[in-house]
Amino acid sequence: MLAKRIIPCLDVKDGRVVKGVNFVNLVDAGDPVAQAQFYDEEGADELVFLDITASTEARPILLDMVQRVAENIHLPFTVGGGVRTVDDMREILRAGADKISINTAAWQQPELISRGAEIFGSQCVVVAIDARRHGEHWELYTHGGRNATGGDALAWASEAQARGAGELLVTSMDKDGTRGGFDLPLLTALSETIHLPIIASGGAGAIQHFVDAVQQGQADAVLAASLLHFREIQIADIKKAFLENGIPTRYEQLSDRANQI
Amino acid sequence: MIDIIDYGAGNLFSVLKALEALHAQPQIIKTPNRYRGGKIVVPGVGAFGDAMQGLRATGFAAFVQEQVQKGKPVLGICVGLQVLFASSAESPGITGLNFFPERVTRFPATHKVPHMGWNQLDVRRETKLLRGIQSGEFVYFAHSYAVTAAEQKYAAAVCHYSLSFAAVIENENLYGVQFHPEKSQRVGMQILKNFVELC
């Protein structure tokens, strides 16, 4: 069975993790490799690095970071943030990332999706969608959620699919930071129209939320940041709940970890 | 000693690093004349047609055919497995390396495409590449096309999605994996180690 994935999201700036695990005995909490190794051992199925570096001049630093992660971790990972051109995508993929996440640039130049899919394959192209509810529909936001586009998030998801996106990373701005659970109506609406894998993001606050996102929202993967970073919930706990609820999960290290709990 | 052939198929770095971690003395070669005589890895992401075009343009298509004939161990990864077959629905009219007569097909729309993430191996027979690997173990896939396993007699392990497909191919010195062993953590590294240790 294809496992439902659990994906920690790490924010990086100038090649350093600025939002990641802080509480455990990491020698260097800013080191992306140490963070990735930590989550690898925890049983993460994949990782997302979100680059929040403002300057594009820092690109070589990011590429160096991607290389170091790929050298040390044999786990798939996605890199997003500030990717604007096919060349940006190529550099990051060549450095060892598996997928590129594009958001604002995809909306501004949708052909970036088509060209990326054509050159690197759909499986490399993740379109990140930030959506906020307005009445009966969801509006698409760009620039890290600052700019309302006036576009319909579901219509945009369909276009991204038609252009060859391989996956959607969907963040509910209404739910993000609330810890009140994932946006199930948004996920349900998407899964009814979209035939791509969907990563649910925004709102995780309890183990049951992850179960709900998969069972009710039909998400293929769930993404979380601070909840995992602050060790309020551990990946093993989520996987245990998945197993109990009959949700397929990769339980590689679960038995060892479960014994320690 | 393992040579990873670079015919423009994108990310070779992760494969290189995984093989380095296994002390396999890997190197990336851009032309057949750099070949050192050891094992060969055919990586691949992107489309079947582009991969075949790259293999032909660089001379690696004929090279791989020749080395397989000579008995050199060859491992195809992802699209690198697919190009071992005759053709693909992804790129009609393009001929593959043709070691196996089947056509690579697209997953039907009954399930989400791409088939993305960790899925389980269903081991069909004990082979060299699968030494120490059990049915049920997870490996990382990211692909929209596959070789339907039903008619593939060289499938050493299959995987079940909207249809069952060949996850591991093994016939004498020719090996292929549809998943990404370099991204499949312990299980993937074991499979690469098995390839490294082949005599």
For B43, other C-beta atoms within 10 Å of its C-beta total 26
Exactly one of B90, B115, B159, B180 is catalytic; name it: B180
- Looking at domain B2-198, what is its CATH homologous superfamily? Class I glutamine amidotransferase (GATase) domain (3.40.50.880)
For the whole model, what pTM was predicted?
0.94
CA A108 to chain centre: 21
The shortest C-alpha distance from B127 to chain A (Å) reads 22
pLDDT of residue B62: 98
Helix, strand, coil in percent for chain B, rounding step 5:
25, 30, 40
Q: Is B78 a catalytic residue?
A: yes
CA distance A239 to A249: 6
Q: How far apart are the first and last CA of chain A?
A: 26
CA B155 to chain centre: 12
CA distance A253 to B43: 28
| Interface touch B185/A196, C-beta < 8 Å | no
pLDDT of residue A25: 67
CA distance A83 to A128: 12
pLDDT band, very low/low/confident/very high, at B2 (cuts 50, 70, 90): very high
pLDDT of residue A260: 41
Exactly one of A11, A31, A88, A212 is catalytic; name it: A11
Length of chain B, please?
199
| Bridge partner residues of B141 (DSSP) | B117
Q: Could you give the ipTM of this predicted complex?
A: 0.93
pLDDT, tens digit (0-9, with 9 covering 90-100), for A26-38: 667 899 999 999 9
| Bridge partner residues of A237 (DSSP) | none
Exactly one of B102, B159, B182, B197 is catalytic; name it: B182
For A22, the token pair is: 């802080």
Q: How far apart are the first and last CA of chain B?
A: 11
| Interface touch A120/B46, C-beta < 8 Å | yes
- 3-class SS at A237? helix
pLDDT, tens digit (0-9, with 9 covering 90-100), for B85-102: 999 999 999 999 999 999
Residues of B with CB under 8 A from a CB of A: 10-11, 13-14, 17-18, 21, 45-47, 79, 109, 112-120, 138, 140, 142-144, 160-161, 180, 182-189
Q: Is A11 a catalytic residue?
A: yes
CA distance B111 to A187: 17
| Interface touch A96/B109, C-beta < 8 Å | no
- Contacts for A193 with CB less than 8 Å, ≥ 6 apart: A154, A157, A158
Domain extents in chain B: 2-198
CA distance B149 to A28: 47
Q: What is the mean pLDDT of residues A111-115?
A: 97
For B139-175, letters b (16+ CB in 10 Å) and e give bbbbbbbbbbbeebebbbbbbebebbbbbbbbbebbb
How many Å is the maximal CA-CA distance in chain A?
Answer: 50
Q: Is the pLDDT of residue A258 over 60?
A: no
